[in-house]
Structure formats: C-alpha cells, structure tokens
Amino acid sequence: MGKLADVEIVRDGDIFYARITLPDGSVTKIESESFEEILNQVATELQDRFGFL
C-alpha cells in the first residue's frame, strides 16, 4: 500500500487552508471560509487526481 498524499488543514481566523502534498512533491493549496467546503474541495482534488475515490 502506497501513500497517495499528505493533507494538512489549518484554520486562521475565519479561513480554512488545506495543503495537499503528493509523493512527487507537487503541492496544491486550497482556502475556504467553510470547513465542509474545504473537505469537499480536498476530496474533489484527490478524486480528479486519482480517479477512483
């Protein structure tokens, strides 16, 4: 089993920030005011990248 990505979600005031780091070192950053929305965006990004989630 291989690692697909590292996902870090932090909150700064009213804004949530997500950082998705793939094993090849590429990084995607996402921000949103809604925790639910940031989770949806992370899931969508991973699904688009890997296509099987």
Quote the CA–CA distance of 31 and 42 in Å, as a whole number.
10
Tell whether 1 is covered by a domain. Answer: no
**pLDDT tens across 1-53, in order?**
788 999 999 999 999 999 999 999 999 999 999 999 999 999 999 999 888 65
Quote the CA–CA distance of 51 and 13 in Å, as a whole number.
33
Tell whether 20 is covered by a domain. Answer: yes
* pLDDT score of 53: 52
pTM (predicted TM-score) = 0.85
Range of the domain at 21: 6-50
Domain count across the chain: 1
* pLDDT score of 8: 98
* pLDDT score of 50: 87
Beta pairing, strands 6-12 & 15-21: antiparallel
* pLDDT score of 25: 95
* pLDDT score of 3: 87
Q: Which long-range contacts (CB under 8 A, 24 or more apart) does 21-24 make?
A: 22/49
